Structure 1
């Protein structure tokens, strides 16, 4: 693949956040300082000529789950033009559906105890709690972002919530996860660039909620994770790389979200599509992120054309 003397980079946004965030603006400035031409671009804009870009970096397409077929078609379109997509289309396809957590668990990653419910399954919510001996659970649609459609119930309230549950599984795969009280102490978010740890934050839920997301009153603060927590989060990326037949270095960015239970890190989400990266929380994080983008561009520039897409998954 051949690039212009000033490679053009599309920073992909979505309809709910069409303009670059503060992080995005800082990244755009740093890319410009290094000779790149970077601009925001809506993935839903049908007038965009995607082959006019050298690199397309997915950043804030937070509503893609509500237009999933269109988003999948967009990925197909990007793959069929001579442009580098970061992270890769194979990575995004795998990561958009939360059953990827089951794949990671099978590769030895510790996750919250989970029951996986496929769409249209006839199942009684309270029976699930009784079978697993869970008092409280969180119900999550398998495709969604920003805690959308996530809710909490208990053994005593499950019967009352059965219709709500049936409404969801009529059109969605669903995860039922044992509620983790540790969330009150904050969800840990560890950010990696090319598989190397950069920085972390602690996401705290509002006093009257359990969702550690700003849409529901959550807040964020800097966090210095212990070495063993960083190592366990890095192991999540190693497992993801094996699942996808690639290496963590090919994840230009990643955010590993979880809770601490003693010395153990329990994975809640692996964000490889459009996570907010809290670049202001990490020393030189904007520069390090830009380094990762440059390295990704360089790898694709030197790789044979047939290797531009991710390799198939392996079973090792």
Structure 2
């Protein structure tokens, strides 16, 4: 525990058991505001969460590998009266990529997307035929680190079929129509308490859109794109029945299509926020958090 007047448990994991470099910047900004940030692994069963005044999800990137334990953590936090950020309803909703279908139904522009339920007797060829797609991206409905994400086309669908069936045997799968604009990069826009903070463009090699080979930190989205990204958050909050301040952090990932935003992901659980990539970004995040937590 810290000696500060407000103690924040920052949820970490195997890949970053202490605070990541990014969260180290946040830690310093919070300390200036009298908040002590202490890393706490999400999979540590010995943690007493009521020792903290608030909890912040950050680098629990490997939670999809042990969903049972992660869901038990969420249930345990639910039983306490500790404020959690982002809030638990948003965490639960954002865990499963079916949230993309919810956003599409709310009018958010994204690639055509279908969710295949675990155990379904359907092949990749069936899906491509049904939707008339020549290429698609296949990914687990709950996943991170681009694990098991694969671009498939009619020419190589047989190569991916076995892995697709293996994943589908135990978990839901999301299949999206491939968007070639991804080869120009996936843009990430960061918001704190609903207000735009900063952005960057992650570059991918043409032959593997699941990997990133460079980052354009000088990327600045035009005003129209920032408004459209904010509209994604509006749709999420409407779905959750939440107010703007209820999501202290969010990252909107998108590609450009015809001069407009095409959503790839909305990250509300453990996104890298690139705090070093935006001037005073750590201070803006710290301000959003101190406004969010009662008695902070």
For the residue of structure 1 that corresponds to 2:158, the secondary structure is: coil
Residue number in structure 1 paired with 2:109? 110
What TM-score, normalized by structure 2, do the two folds share? 0.95
Equivalent residues in 2 for 1:157-196 (5 A)?
157-196=156-195
Q: Which runs of 5+ in 1 are unaligned?
A: 303-316
Q: Which runs of 5+ in 2 are unaligned?
A: none
Aligned to 2:56: 57
Residue equivalent to 1:226: 222
How far apart in 1 are the matches of 2:125 and 2:216? 34
Structure 2 match to 1:312: none
Once the two structures are TM-superposed, the CA of residue 212 in structure 1 deviates from its matched residue by: 4.4
1:130, CA displacement in angstroms? 2.2
For 1:279 and 1:16, locate their aligned partners in 2 and report how far apart those are by CA, in whole Å.
18
User: 1:57 offset after TM fit, Å?
Assistant: 0.6
Deviation at 1:5, TM superposition (A): 7.0
- Using the TM superposition, give the Cα deviation of residue 275 of structure 1 relative to its aligned residue in structure 2, in angstroms: 0.2
Helix, strand or coil: the match of 2:156? Answer: coil
SS at structure 1 position matched to 2:129: helix
For the aligned residues, what is the CA RMSD? 1.6
Moved over 6 A (4+): none
Report the Cα distance in structure 1 between the residues aligned to 2:128 and 2:40, rounded to whole angstroms.
45
The verdict on how the C-alpha distance between 1:218 and 1:122 changes in structure 2, with shifts beyond 3 A counting, is farther
- 1:196-215 alpha-carbon deviations (Å, 9 max, x no partner): 110001011135421244xx
CA contact (8 A) 2:4 2:36 kept: no
* CA positional deviation for 1:103: 0.6
Point out the more displaced range, 50-59 or 80-89: 80-89
Q: Distance in 1 between matches of 2:198 and 2:291?
A: 19
Residue 301 of structure 1 deviates from its aligned partner by 4.4
Who is 1:261 aligned against?
257
In 2, the alpha carbon distance for the partners of 1:152 and 1:209 equals 8
Per the normalisation by structure 1, the TM-score is 0.89
> Distance between the aligned counterparts of 1:171 and 1:226, measured in 2?
42
Deviation at 1:222, TM superposition (A): 3.0
Shift of 1:141: 0.5
Deviation at 1:220, TM superposition (A): 4.9
| Residue matched to 1:38 | 37
